[in-house]
A and B are shown apart, each in its own frame.
Chain A
Amino acid sequence: MARQRVRYAGAFASRHRERCIEHGREEGAAHFRTLLLSYRTNSKRKRSLSSNDYSSQDQAQQRLVRTGDGSPRAGERHAAQSGVANLGQLAELCGAQCMPGVASGAPRASRAAADLLRIPARAPVRWRNMAGFLIRGAMPVDASGDEVSKVAWARGGLWYIALVSEGVDSMYYAQMFCYGTDNNHVGITGIRGCLGVVFATANLYAVHIPPLDSQRDLAGAMAFVA
């Protein structure tokens, strides 16, 4: 399944490049060419990872499966290699250059597409527009595919975008004396004599408790749990 999604992602970029060329949209074609090259580079890099690395091939494979559900997260390993700052920016780029009708309008279609891809209602409108773009755009013009294949194609595209576009927005790293939270990714900065604590429930919570004195350390723990 994961390999299928990889193919979807590559095919997504490739197909849209071809369509932009067909319609004389040079900027769009150039953009999708960049995406395609980025995808291929990342793909090669993934294959060359060492086996004792956290990002080993199995891990990477799991990540593909995990992000294949359309969730706009993960792919942090690739974020720095992409010139695209976030999903919204990519939606604007794709929409403006290739499918202006979808990006700027058709809210009902976008809403339906976003529901289909399980994009949260609170996500930026641009993401929902992107869903509309993916649902329509990822299908071959003359294809008579059913709803399932539409979703599969669009999720492949969304997976790819999440992979290359996740920036550093959705995570939290606790520095000295500080605590915070994120849904999916938290961390703690340099721990030597300090204590790092994470509580994993519906959200992830992290606190960084330096070794000061027992009273202060206890204050940190209590502020964290309160």
Chain B
Amino acid sequence: MIVGMEGVPHPAGNLYLFVNGTNRTQADNEARTIKDALGGPATRVYRMMTNLGAQSGGLEADAATIKVQRAAGIDLSYKHVPDNQWVAGGNAKTGCYYPQMDATFGDAKVPNGGALGAGWFHMTNATCHIRGIH
């Protein structure tokens, strides 16, 4: 998607990967794979360790919704958004890489106005383990 839409083999940019607690132990390797495919952009893996319920930092924390917005730079934040706070809206997906699931997932859906409001936590060293991938 990225290379196709940017029209260049190695678009300049920054790559961010997000993991909840101690899940996804192979995330660093996956990050390297994606980084290499994009021609080596600056890459960081963020492990969210706090603010996701009693099990934060482990395997069973509340599911985290990630929000990435362009501000002065790039704004990274997260919080748990309950199932009942999602509404239809937003851009349609560009694609689904698992065709059998195409009909199951991917209707345009976004947090409702209230959920998009307060309660987001910035991804910083205080809230996440941040690891640069080289």
Contact = CB atoms under 8 A, between A and B. Distances in A.
A170 interface: yes
A170 to B, nearest CB: 7
B23 interface: yes
Interface string B92-120: 11111110011011111111111011111
Contacts of B74: 200
15 contacts: A76-B117, A80-B116, A177-B96, A178-B106, A179-B93, A183-B70, A185-B67, A185-B70, A190-B65, A197-B16, A198-B18, A200-B15, A221-B37, A223-B95, A226-B4
A76 B90 CA distance: 12
Contact of B14 (A185, A195, A199, A220): A199
Interface string A160-186: 000000011111111111111111111
B130 interface: no
Contacts of A184: 69-70
Contact of A180 (B15, B23, B93): B93
Contact of B20 (A54, A168, A193, A217): A193
A185 to B, nearest CB: 5
Interface residues of B, number: 78
A205 B112 CA distance: 21
A100 interface: no
Interface string B1-45: 111111000011111111110011011001001100110010000
Contacts of B54: none
A171 B66 contact: no
B113 A204 contact: no
Interface of B: 1-6, 11-20, 23-24, 26-27, 30, 33-34, 37-38, 41, 48, 59-72, 74, 77, 79-81, 86-87, 89-98, 101-102, 104-114, 116-122
Contact of B90 (A77, A173, A195): A173
A120 interface: no
Nearest to A82: B113
A66, A198, A223: most-surrounded residue (chain B CB, <10 A): A198
Contacts of A220: 97-98
B81 A190 contact: yes
Contacts of A3: none
